[in-house]
Amino acid sequence: MNTAKTYQSILKMVSSYSAQLAMLNEENFQLTPSIGGWSYSEVYSHIFDSSLLTLMAIEKCVNGEGENQPTSFAAKVVLLFGFLPKVKVPAKLADRVKKIDVQAAQQLITEFELQLAKVYPQIAQGKPNVKVKHPKLGYLNATQWLRFVEIHFNHHIKQLNRIHKSFAQ
């Protein structure tokens, strides 16, 4: 995996999330779409909160605090093809999702950008066999976690587009 390319892709998507956030008013940001599911607010809460947790997993890998476990076949497929199957968010993460305001979403984005800038340069120092467990995919190393962030961001951009289309109708 090319971590530099993955990193640049993540930065581009974060910029896209920020641009979309800037175009939303508070009322629409909080509103549950007619198609059901999460509001913009809940998507932003989830994607940036869980991504901050992911950066913590990367730090653990880099610091040697993980385990020497194999990466599951399912994780290898997800990481290779960049596609997340539609699965229910693990309860531990679902409980963290909440409606936040636009300002809180922007703060989460800023915090993520700062933490990513801090963690990214350390990834090259991580050993490929040191892994931290993902709730659905199993054990991932630092590089694999970074790739997961990219895939996860892309997955939720598609969700935001579905929300946007539902409001346009």
Q: pLDDT (tens digit, 0 to 9) for every residue of the chain, 169 residues total?
A: 699 999 999 999 999 999 999 999 999 999 999 888 899 999 999 999 999 999 999 999 999 999 999 999 988 888 888 877 776 776 777 678 899 999 999 999 999 999 999 999 999 988 999 999 998 899 999 999 999 999 999 999 999 999 998 887 6
- Parse the chain into domains and list their residue ranges: 3-168
How do strand 138-140 and strand 132-134 relate by DSSP bridges? Answer: antiparallel
- CATH fold of 3-168 reads Four Helix Bundle (Hemerythrin (Met), subunit A) (1.20.120)
Is residue 83 within 8 Å of residue 129, measured between CB atoms? Answer: no
Q: What is the 3-state secondary structure (H, E, C) of 19-31?
A: HHHHCCCHHHHHC
Which sign, positive or negative, has the C-alpha torsion 94, 10, 120, 148?
A: positive
| Closest listed residue to residue 79, CA positions, set 37, 38, 15, 131 | 131
